[in-house]
């Protein structure tokens, strides 16, 4: 599915409150020009200086090519996918995505015995916990089917609701392929970030030992 990318100005957003802050930016609850309450990720100046142009190019493609949501529930979204690109003047500021509502828990709060007790879900039986794992696998598989590699995969970037449904977060750092999108035709935009403990070994460990020596396998070295 392809849609016309939405581009809004930073001045069109009304900030309601700050939700979270991370390495690349800050997330706010905002009201957009369509009067819809959304989440707005505003990038830090340092992140924009290092890869702002590439990020905007990818965000425009992501907004235009949202993946099909495998969830059939009208009150649940599997992906917090970018919905609009936000500029401040003519410069990228960030993007808007759906606002996560309701009560959510981290996957580890469900599968770890001690965490289940501390988070108030000690009564979740093994079948419910297995369903969470299955839903997480289905969500990642749906991303892969859409040509998306979830770059920043870690326990902080997925949440589970009281029904065991999973939502994936922080998708703007993913590697995204849109073969029919003219702005990135035939290209793959690489993800930039990832938790070292959760990233596949070739990306997490760019150093390879050979004959007692270490050499860098990364193109950025």
Q: What is the CATH number of the domain that holds 44?
A: 1.10.510.10
- pLDDT at position 2: 58
Domain total for the chain? 1
In a domain, 101, yes or no: yes
Distances (CA, A) of 135 to 4, 71, 107, 132, 159: 30, 10, 11, 5, 11
Distance of CA 197 to the CA centre of its chain: 17
- pLDDT at position 29: 97
Is residue 207's pLDDT more than 60? Answer: no
Is residue 44's pLDDT more than 90? Answer: yes
Q: What is the pLDDT of residues 98-154, one digit of tens each?
A: 999 888 888 888 877 777 776 667 677 888 888 888 999 999 999 888 888 887 788
Q: How far apart are CA 197 and CA 205, in angstroms?
A: 10
- DSSP states along the chain: ---PPPEEEGGG-EEEEEEEE-SSEEEEEEE-TTS-EEEEEEEPHHHHHHHHHHHHHHHHHHHHSPPPP----TT--SB----EEEEETTEEEEEEEPPP-S-EE-HHHHHSHHHHHHTT-TT--HHHHHHHHHHHHHHHHHHHHTTEE-SS-STTSEEEETTS-EEE--GGGSEEE-TT-GGGTT-EEPP----TTTS-HHHH--EEEETTEEEE--TT-
- pLDDT at position 18: 97
Q: What is the pLDDT of residues 13-30, one digit of tens each?
A: 999 999 999 888 999 999
In a domain, 129, yes or no: yes
In a domain, 208, yes or no: no
- pLDDT at position 220: 38
Band (83; pLDDT cuts 50, 70, 90): very high
- pLDDT at position 1: 56
Domain that holds residue 160: 7-203
45-55 average pLDDT score: 87
In a domain, 213, yes or no: no
This prediction has a pTM of: 0.76
Task: Tell me the CA end-to-end span of the chain in Å, nearest whole number.
Answer: 38
Is residue 212's pLDDT more than 70? Answer: no
Q: How far apart are CA 175 and CA 191, in angstroms?
A: 5
In a domain, 123, yes or no: yes
- pLDDT at position 88: 95
In a domain, 143, yes or no: yes
- pLDDT at position 33: 93
């Amino acid at each position: 599915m392809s849609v016309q990318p939405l581009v809004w100005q930073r001045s069109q957003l009304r900030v309601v409150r700050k939700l979270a802050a991370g390495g690349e930016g800050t997330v706010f609850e905002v009201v957009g020009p369509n009067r819809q309450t959304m989440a707005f990720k505003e990038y830090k100046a340092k992140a924009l200086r290092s890869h702002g142009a590439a990020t905007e190019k990818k965000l425009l493609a992501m907004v235009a090519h949202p993946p099909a949501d495998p969830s059939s529930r009208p009150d649940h979204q599997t992906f917090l996918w970018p919905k609009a690109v936000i500029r401040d003047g003519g410069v990228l500021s960030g993007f808007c995505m759906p606002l996560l509502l309701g009560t959510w828990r981290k996957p580890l709060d469900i599968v770890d015995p001690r965490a289940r007790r501390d988070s108030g879900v000690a009564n979740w039986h093994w079948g419910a916990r297995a369903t969470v794992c299955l839903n997480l696998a289905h969500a990642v598989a749906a991303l892969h089917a859409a040509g998306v590699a979830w770059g920043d995969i870690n326990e902080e970037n997925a949440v589970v609701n009281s029904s065991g449904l999973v939502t994936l977060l922080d998708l703007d750092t993913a590697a995204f392929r849109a073969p029919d999108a003219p702005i990135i035709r035939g290209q793959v935009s690489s993800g930039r970030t990832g938790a070292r403990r959760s990233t596949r070994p070739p990306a997490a460990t760019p150093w390879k030992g050979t004959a007692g020596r270490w050499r860098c396998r990364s193109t950025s070295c």
